[in-house]
Structure 1
Amino acid sequence: MTQQTKIEWTDFTVNFWEGCQKVGPGCDHCYAEARNQRFHGDNWGPGKPRRYVKGGIAKLHKINRGAEKFHEENGHWPRVFCSSLSDIFDNAVDKVWRMEAFSALEQATDTRPQLLTKRVGNVFQMIPPSWAMHWPAHVGLMITVVNQAEADRDIPKLLDIKARLGIPWVGLSMEPLLGPVDLAQPYAGPLHCAVHCKDHCTAHGDEECPKFFDGIDWVIVGGESGHQARPTNPQWFRNLRDQCDAAGTPFLFKQWGEWVSVSEVEGPGRHHRFDDGRTVRRTGKKLAGRLLDGREWNGVPT
Structure 2
Amino acid sequence: MADTSKIEWTDATWNVVTGCEKVSPGCDNCYAETFAERWRGIPGHHFETGFDVTLRPERLTLPLRWRKPKRVFVNSMSDLFHKDIPDEFIARTFAIMALTPQHTYQVLTKRHGRMRSLLKDRAFVALVDEHREQLRSGCGDFAWPLPNVWLGVSVENQKWADIRIPALLDTPAAVRFLSCEPLLGLIDLDGPIVPGLGRPKLTYWLTGRPYWDEEKATTTDTGLTMAPLSTGPRLDWVIVGGESGPGARAMHPQWARTIRDQCQQSGVPFFFKQWGEWGPAPFIVRVCDPDVGWKGTEEELAVAKADSEARGATHVHTGNWFDEDGERQYWLHEIGHKPWSLERVGLPEGTAAIRRWGKKRAGRELDGHTHDAFPAA
Same fold (TM over 0.5): yes
Q: What secondary structure does 1:240 align onto? A: helix
Q: Return the offset for 1:125.
A: 3.0
* Matched-pair identity in %: 39
Q: Pick from 54, 66, 71: which aligns with 2:68? A: 66
Whether the aligned pair in 2 keeps the contact of 1:269 and 1:282 (CA below 8 Å) is no
Q: Distance in 2 between matches of 1:260 and 1:53?
A: 38
- The Cα RMSD (Å) is 2.7
Q: Distance in 1 between matches of 2:169 and 2:177?
A: 10
2:359 aligned partner: 285
Deviation sequence 1:162-186 (CA, Å, 0-9, x none): xxx3x21101000000001110128
Q: Kindly tell me: are residues 269 and 93 of structure 1, through their superposed partners in 2, closer, same or farther at Cα, counting changes over 3 Å?
A: farther
1:81 aligned partner: 73
Q: What secondary structure does 1:10 align onto? A: coil
Q: Distance in 2 between matches of 1:214 and 1:245?
A: 18
Q: Distance in 2 between matches of 1:59 and 1:225?
A: 30
Q: Kindly tell me: are residues 117 and 269 of structure 1, through their superposed partners in 2, closer, same or farther at Cα, counting changes over 3 Å?
A: farther
Q: Give runs of aligned pairs for residues 1-302 of structure 1, distance below 5 A.
A: 3-40=3-40, 41=47, 42-44=49-51, 48=52, 50-63=53-66, 65-67=67-69, 78-127=70-119, 128-130=124-126, 134-161=144-171, 165=172, 167-185=173-191, 202=210, 215-263=234-282, 267=310, 271-275=314-318, 276-302=350-376
Deviation sequence 1:117-144 (CA, Å, 0-9, x none): 1011111333422479821111110000
Whether the aligned pair in 2 keeps the contact of 1:20 and 1:43 (CA below 8 Å) is no
Q: Return the offset for 1:88.
A: 0.6
Q: Return the offset for 1:92.
A: 1.1
Q: Distance in 2 between matches of 1:83 and 1:152?
A: 24
Structure 1: runs of 5 or more not aligned: 68-77, 187-199, 205-212
Instruction: State the TM-score, normalizing by the size of structure 2.
Output: 0.64
Higher strand share: 2
Q: What secondary structure does 2:271 align onto? A: strand
Q: Kindly tell me: are residues 243 and 59 of structure 1, through their superposed partners in 2, closer, same or farther at Cα, counting changes over 3 Å?
A: same
Q: What secondary structure does 2:170 align onto? A: helix
Q: What secondary structure does 1:278 align onto? A: strand
Whether the aligned pair in 2 keeps the contact of 1:179 and 1:236 (CA below 8 Å) is yes
* Runs of 4+ residues over 6 Å off in structure 1: none
Counterpart amino acid of 1:218?
Answer: W
Structure 2: runs of 5 or more not aligned: 41-46, 130-142, 193-207, 213-231, 284-307, 319-349
Instruction: State the TM-score, normalizing by the size of structure 1.
Output: 0.79
Q: Distance in 2 between matches of 1:56 and 1:98?
A: 13
